[in-house]
Each structure stands twice: as C-alpha cells, then as structure tokens.
Amino acid sequence: MTFKSGRVRQTGEQSGDIFGDLTMHGVTKPITLHVKLMSPISNETKETHWAVTTEPLKRRDFNLMFSQGAESISGIAQTVAVNIEIEASRVQ
C-alpha cells in the first residue's frame, strides 16, 4: 500500500487535508487523508502526535474481494477506513 501526495489544504488551526493517490493491491485511486494535530510539539521531547483518517473506502474498488462463500461468512465489511497515528520527533 502506497500513498503519493499531490497537494495539501489547511482546514483548521490544527488540521488539514492531503490529496493524493492511494495504491493498494495494484489499483490506484485518488483519496483524501484528513490530518489532525493531537498534541503540539513538546519542548521537552520535541515530539508531536497526529491522527490521520480517510473516508470509507470500498474494498471492491481495490480488487480486494474474496470468493463469494468467504465473503458471506467472513464478517469483513465491504467498506474500510484507514486510521493512522503518527508520532514525530524533531531532529536536533
């Protein structure tokens, strides 16, 4: 799974959207990552924490389907969302 960003837009004081292309299972689709600063940089640790989410993605759009029998009993949702937590440190 790879994501290549194209542009960024600030949506709030501590949030923004990153527009780009997500490639998963050999299929590339445009998506938006929603980024929110969870904790500003700490003077002591020089770390920040971020939350990154997406709108629900359809597995079928990325050819992530199983056999009909497996789909019916697996309990796997047809839509999924990407949720990422990032901890970043400033290099001194």
Domain CATH for 71: 2.40.128.110
Q: What is the pLDDT of residue 69?
A: 77
Range of the domain at 16: 2-89
Q: What is the pLDDT of residue 92?
A: 66
Phi, psi angle pair for 70, to nearest 5°: -65, -40
pLDDT tens digit at each of 92 positions of the chain: 899 999 999 999 999 999 999 999 999 999 999 999 998 777 777 888 999 999 999 988 998 887 777 777 877 788 988 899 988 887 76
Q: Hey, what long-range contacts does 13-17 have (CB within 8 A, 24 or more apart)?
A: 14/40
User: How many structural domains does the chain have?
Assistant: 1
Q: SS3 letters for the chain?
A: CEEEEEEEEEEECCEEEEEEEEEECCEEEEEEEEEEEEECCCCCCCEEEEEEECCCEEHHHHCCCCCHHHHHHHCCCCEECCEEEEEEECCC
